[in-house]
Structure 1
Amino acid sequence: MAEKDYYDILGVPKTATADEIKKAFRKQARKHHPDAGGSEAKFKEINEAYEILSDEEKRKQYDTYGRYFGGNVPPGGPGGAGAGWPGGGVPGGGFPGGASYQTVDMGDLGDLFGNLFGGGAGASRRKSAHRGADMQYDLTLSFEEALKGTSTKVDVKRTETCATCKGTGAKPGTSVSTCPTCSGAGHVTQGQGVFGFSRPCQRCGGTGTVVEQPCTTCRGKGQVVRAKPLTVNIPPGVTDGGKLRFAGKGEPGTGGAPAGDLYVITHIRPHAFFTRDGADVVLDLPVTITEAALGAQVMVPTPDGGKVKVKIPAGTADGKVLRVPGKGAPKLKGRGTGDLKVRVRIDVPKKLTSEQKELLKKFESLRADDVRAHIA
């Protein structure tokens, strides 16, 4: 019996095909890889089992010699000098027949671990390429600016390449150096051969280079934060709390990655008498009791600075909304224009002369209807 049952380690029967062994190895390796929280000892054991069982000749010898496979034999072989061993003896303490212990060619399995756990050549360097962060800017506009649109400058604090060191992070006159820990690879390998796995280099952060004499302006970062004026075009019809996206105007990317986006949040200062309801503009129009009762035609202002005549129908109640089509705010993305919504507000006089009181009393006595009949 073998000291280690490689079939049991991979969880396959002795009749397993090469493809089944490979699939089982991948599954166990994923589960027990140290970067995934597994045991390094178990991971090495899994690799050892796969190295033997994935090689047709080594597997055949393992099936034949059991625990004496791989050099765990007494001098001359299990039955004495040269007994039962192909070619006699085990030269160099290697495999039966003089075979030497070699590292298995894992093929695409190395890429598997690189993708899963950040190892493998170039993985750390790829991590240094990042899309720039998105940014937000709160912009306050007047009612008219929001209605008509405007072009304005905003001071946006963005990360930019340091002009002193040109982004290298090194003091002018000096240069960056190859990281002595990883020799410029950006990653370091722990273990050897089939048992090895890579991690990003902690010394250089995966870049493969270090700055021995940092730039005094950016302190070795290669970037500085500056408030830079940026012209943004605000389209007509923006609303309070609206969000405008300006592609590529956010933080710059690193390692050749694209810049992030700038999101401008619009805030609109209150108007003296207009309010917004989406693309519609609302105007509260005071009317007298007489105008509401008898009807009238009145001139009202429009958001564009003009005036328009509005008809107040006889018997208009307080709160009734009269629409003036096309006199509101522009709809975003060129979808037309909203309406001007004139909301009637009946003005009840707070102070009356004696004559006005008498006239109202006479009017009330002439009314034939009971305004509270429906709740009596």
Structure 2
Amino acid sequence: MTGKRDYYETLGVSRSAVENDIKASYRKLAMKYHPDKNPGNKEAEEKFKEASEAYEVLRDPQKRAIYDQYGHQGLEGSGFTGHTGFEDIFSSFGDIFEDFFGFNTGKRTSSRGRSQKGADLRTDIRLSFMQAAFGVETTLDVEKQDICPKCKGSACEPGTHPEACRHCGGSGQMSRTQGFFTVRTTCPHCRGNGQSIPHPCLNCRGAGKVRISKKVSVKIPAGVDNGSRLRLTNEGEAGIYGGPPGDLYVFIHVEPHEFFQRNNTDVICQIPISFVQAALGDKIIIPTLTGERELEIPKGAQPGDVLRFDGEGIPSLKDGLRGHQLIHLDIRTPANLNKKQEELLREFAKIEEGKFSNMFKKIFKGGTVKAAR
């Protein structure tokens, strides 16, 4: 399996894609390369199998987690070998092909009456640098489809019941033979449910679900970064026919800080100091994530020197250990000197006179460097 293409690349989705994005991308590829639409086309057949194998892995949270961490070799070690043929594919994704094409392999009855997980939702939130560093509890306003409180999802007025569809006999499908397949199309009268609702719920108009606005509390852990994604289980849209709700995915966007920058769990800052402080050393107070702290500048500090406060960085999401604060020294040379300052510097220059010229004489003992011929 190590020679196979990346599954995300095969489906044309990003590694942060949610379930609905993955399913939609597979649908396009399956419709394009399905063997019924490309009879005798071996290239289309291989692309169909390749897309189906990628979809089988990425739709399954456990298989996807293994693949994200260990790649194809990890799946191989866990016993996954992919599909062996079309029968295997149709068997695995019979409900998908019924949704996409309106038929299956003849081995299934209606899948629309079966419980299905609700749709996943996505929301984006912005955090300040400090909120991302230390975590925050916040409330999200989520618009979604939820179970109708009046009919409890049955779509019927209280006290009434659904009846079997008289057009399809309750199967939810109309059958006919086409080529090698028994083609089953969704019953247009019951829309594949196999039931009719003689007395629809007045609150949801027979939908079984209503649109609501819900406040969802979320605890953002300390250490999240720009682009981090959180999953809130069962906070997506309501399931179908008693299925579980979908999930809510929260994407994090972190605002930049005016003083600090971030590199993994380390924070970086730049401190301006005078050339006198650099030469003689000094003690100054600088900000950290948790407050002010004294920084000791060593004598003879040079441009580009980096000092460090251990444990003053951002907590790791893995173990909670904090990184470091890295302080870059920005040595400033005065642009405007008064007369007294200039006199003192000239006195200092006389003391230092000849020091650097003697250093260069040691480097170039043989005289000036001659150009190569």
Q: TM-score range by the shorter chain?
A: 0.5 to 0.7
For 1:114-161, what per-residue CA distance to the aligned partner results, in whole angstroms no more than 9, with x for missing partners? 958426475323575332332222222233322222222111222211
One-letter amino acid matched to 1:288: S
- 5+ residue gaps in structure 1? 1-34, 40-110
One-letter amino acid matched to 2:303: D
Q: TM (normalized to structure 1)?
A: 0.60
The residue aligned with 2:46 is none
The residue aligned with 2:73 is none
2-structure distance, mates of 1:196, 1:326: 67
> 1:271: Cα distance to partner?
3.3
> 1:270: Cα distance to partner?
3.5
Distance 1:319 1:216, change over 3 A: farther
* RMSD of aligned residue pairs (Cα, Å): 3.6
The residue aligned with 1:342 is 327
Kindly indicate whether residue 279 of structure 2 is the aligned counterpart of residue 293 of structure 1.
Answer: yes
**Which of 268, 275, 281 matches 2:261?**
275
> 1:272: Cα distance to partner?
4.0
Distance 1:220 1:297, change over 3 A: same
**Which of 171, 175, 193 matches 1:207?**
193
**Which of 348, 353, 356 matches 1:369?**
356
2-structure distance, mates of 1:357, 1:308: 34
SS of the residue 1:125 aligns to? coil
> 1:290: Cα distance to partner?
0.7
Q: How does 1:110-121 map to 2 (within 5 A)?
A: 117-118=103-104, 120=106
The residue aligned with 2:168 is 182
SS of the residue 1:145 aligns to? helix
Distance 1:198 1:267, change over 3 A: closer
The residue aligned with 1:141 is 127
> 1:310: Cα distance to partner?
2.5
2-structure distance, mates of 1:222, 1:37: 36
What is the total number of aligned residue pairs between the two structures?
Answer: 267
The residue aligned with 2:218 is 232
Distance 1:151 1:181, change over 3 A: same
For 1:32-89, what per-residue CA distance to the aligned partner results, in whole angstroms no more than 9, with x for missing partners? xxx94699xxxxxxxxxxxxxxxxxxxxxxxxxxxxxxxxxxxxxxxxxxxxxxxxxx
Distance 1:202 1:274, change over 3 A: same
The residue aligned with 1:198 is 184
> 1:341: Cα distance to partner?
1.0
Question: Conserved in 2, the CA contact under 8 Å of 1:118 and 1:124?
Answer: no
2-structure distance, mates of 1:283, 1:191: 72
One-letter amino acid matched to 1:202: P
Q: How does 1:323-342 map to 2 (within 5 A)?
A: 323-342=308-327
Distance 1:37 1:140, change over 3 A: closer
SS of the residue 1:233 aligns to? strand
> 1:273: Cα distance to partner?
2.1
The residue aligned with 2:301 is 316
Question: Conserved in 2, the CA contact under 8 Å of 1:119 and 1:199?
Answer: no
1-structure distance, mates of 2:208, 2:303: 66
1-structure distance, mates of 2:335, 2:301: 20
2-structure distance, mates of 1:132, 1:180: 28
Q: TM (normalized to structure 2)?
A: 0.61
Q: How does 1:1-12 map to 2 (within 5 A)?
A: none
- 5+ residue gaps in structure 2? 1-34, 40-89, 98-102, 364-368
One-letter amino acid matched to 2:356: D
> 1:336: Cα distance to partner?
1.2
> 1:208: Cα distance to partner?
0.5
One-letter amino acid matched to 2:339: S
Q: How does 1:56-205 map to 2 (within 5 A)?
A: 117-118=103-104, 120=106, 123-125=109-111, 128-171=114-157, 175-190=161-176, 197-205=183-191
